Every structure is written in structure tokens, then in C-alpha cells.
Amino acid sequence: MFDIRPLTPTIGAEVHGLDLRRDLDESCHVALADALHEHQVLFFRDQRITAHRQRDVAAGFGTLQHFPFGEPAAPDLPEVMVLATGGEGPKISNADIWHSDATFLARPPLGTMLRAVSLPPSGGDTLWADMESAYLSLSAPMRAMLDGLTAEHDFAKSRSHRGGDKDALPPVVHPVVRTHPVTGRRCLYLNRIFTTRILELKERENELLLPFLFDQATRPEHQVRFTWRSGDIALWDNRSTQHYATYDYQGPRVMHRIVIEGDEPR
């Protein structure tokens, strides 16, 4: 029904031969979900769809989340968040720091669907990193030490989220290494934006170990890089990846993001 073309040996694949303007049956969604679990990030080129259609496609992968930060694309589209960056004024987003979305939630997103609405003439690539490969590339003694540890995640650490309600979103604790609920694969589950400390370690130990683990995502062998064109869509598994939005462009960049509800990391 469509063709999957991997972009690297471990992460990222383009989906060819699929027009998202057309209704997708259950078997198609199952096949796409299988491809997502295998490749972790799927790219759909040149999809000329509306925000309403994007919502309907994303809903085939799970319950959609009303994200607590950002503005909706329309009053009847609370699930579709507008990401508008660039243009005049200072940069305020911290999307150009490696992270997984919303790990400050008790049940962080399963995944995210992002659609390019309006792009600058050049720049603005997004990179994704495979946290399974990042985990497996560690030595066996290091993996053994990390297994069973837990870390605190706090939205207040992020300068982009400090306007939120701290009482409604207290810090949460997740495993340092989580098990993917579908594939059973083990993945590093820390990120520089939201992870504050590993609970079982002393302060000095955190100061030394956390930067090293954060930097695992920056190794090129774990990554795929995507250059956007208008109408392109990326769908990624937030449980096993981190991503980084390159802020190297002049002029406005508008994206529509949809977040799919996830489960409690274990």
C-alpha cells in the first residue's frame, strides 16, 4: 500500500506512495504504526492537507492530547498547536536543545506529528536521535549501573514553559532507562531540558554523569537529519527518540504540531 525507505541503519524512514488526503483504513494505520516502531521517525513528503485533516490522521495512532502550552490552530482544533518561530524579536523557544517532548508529565506523549505550514527560504532542519542506540553504545557496566535508577523531570527547568502552573504540573519521576511498551527495547530516557537529577545519586555524581548522558544524543551515529519542504510531515515515537530543531534561519517558520497521548514510562 506504500513504500518505506530507510534513511539510516537505525533511525528515520520516508513513506512513499501514500496520499494523506485520502482516508486510511485500519490495516494502513497498523502498517504505519509497525513502521514507526521499527524506524522511530517517519517522514511524509509533499502532503497538501489541512489542519483538520492532520488531526484526523493523527487520531488513527491514539488519543490526541490538548497540550497545556501554546495556541491552537483554530477554536475547534484544540489538538493542533501552532509553532511560530523566527521573524522579528528575540528567540524564546528552546527547541534547539536535544529533548523528548513533555517528559515532565506523568504520562509523556507516545508521539508527535509535525507539519510544515510556512518555511523560511533555507535552514530550519530538524534532527532526531535514537535513544535505543544511545543506550546500547554505552559499556555493559554503565548500562548495568543505569538500569533501575530514576530521574526527576520538571517543566520549570525549561525557559519556554515557565509560564505554566507549577501546582498543576509538579515534578515527576521516570526511569533513567525505560522499556518501550511495544518493542520491549531499552532506551535512555533523560534529556537536557527537563531532567533535573538522578534521585539515587549524590549531587556531585549528578554533576558529572548527567552531562555525559545528555551528550549521548549528540553523537552523529545515532541521528537522522531532515530538511523540510512546505507540506512535509514528520511523525515520531517520543518514547525512544530525542529531537533538535535547528535555529539557523531568517524569517518566519510556522509548523502545526499534534501530540498523541502516551503511557507511564516503565
In a domain, 223, yes or no: yes
CATH number for the domain spanning 155: value is 3.60.130.10
Tabulate helix, strand, coil % of the chain (nearest 5): 20, 30, 50
Identify any residues that bridge with 153 across adjacent strands, giving them in sequence order: 172, 195
Asked if residue 44 lies in contact with residue 229, where contact means CB atoms within 8 angstroms, the answer is no
Alpha-carbon torsion (38, 191, 119, 68), positive or negative: positive
Q: How far is residue 100's CA from residue 112's CA, in Å, rounded to a whole number?
A: 10
Contact criterion met (CB below 8 Å) for 109 and 259: yes
Domain with 78, as residue range(s), is 3-88+96-260
Domain count for the chain, please give it: 1
Whether 101 sits among the annotated catalytic residues: the reply is yes
- 218-250: b (≥16 Cβ within 10 Å) or e: eeeebbbebebeebbbbbbbbbbbbbbbeeebe
Contact of 249 with 122, CB cutoff 8 Å: yes
- With a cut of 80, say whether residue 167 has pLDDT above it: no
In a domain, 238, yes or no: yes
Q: Which of 101, 130, 154, 232 is catalytic?
A: 101
Question: Using 50, 70 and 90 to split pLDDT, how confident is the model at 70?
Answer: confident
Lookup result for grid cell 519521576: 173
Is 26 in a helix, a strand, or coil? helix
What is the per-residue pLDDT for 244?
Answer: 97
Q: Does residue 266 fall inside a structural domain?
A: no
- Point out which residues pair with 4 in neighbouring strands: 15
**Which pLDDT score is estimated for 91?**
62
Give burial (CB, 10 Å; 0-12/13-18/19+) of 148: exposed
Active site residue 147: no
> H helices within 43-148, ranges in order?
51-59, 131-136, 140-146
Enter the pTM of the model.
0.94
Whether 133 maps to a domain, the answer reads yes
Catalytic residue among 115, 174, 222, 257: 257
pLDDT in tens, 220-250: 999 999 999 999 999 999 999 999 999 999 8
**265 in a structural domain:** no
Amino acid at 200: E
Sign of CA dihedral 208, 209, 213, 214: negative
pLDDT tens digits, 105-123 = 999 999 999 999 999 999 9
Residue 54 near residue 258, CB atoms below 8 Å:
yes
Would you call 25 a catalytic residue per the annotation?
A: no
Q: Which one from 55, 174, 197, 243 is the annotated catalytic residue?
A: 243
> Do the bridges between strand 186-188 and strand 13-16 make them parallel or antiparallel, or are there none, so unpaired?
unpaired
Q: Exactly one of 55, 99, 197, 239 is catalytic; which is it?
A: 99
Angle formed at CA 217 by CA 67 and CA 190, multiple of 5 degrees: 55
**Cα dist from 29 to 2, 32, 59, 155, whole Å:** 11, 5, 10, 32
What's the chain's average pLDDT? 94
Tell me if 208 is assigned to some domain.
yes
| Per-residue pLDDT tens over the stretch 252-264 | 999 999 999 999 9
Retrieve residue 192's grid coordinates.
537536557
Q: What is the pLDDT of residue 166?
A: 66
Q: Pick the more confident residue, 9 or 162.
A: 9
Q: Does residue 257 carry a catalytic annotation?
A: yes
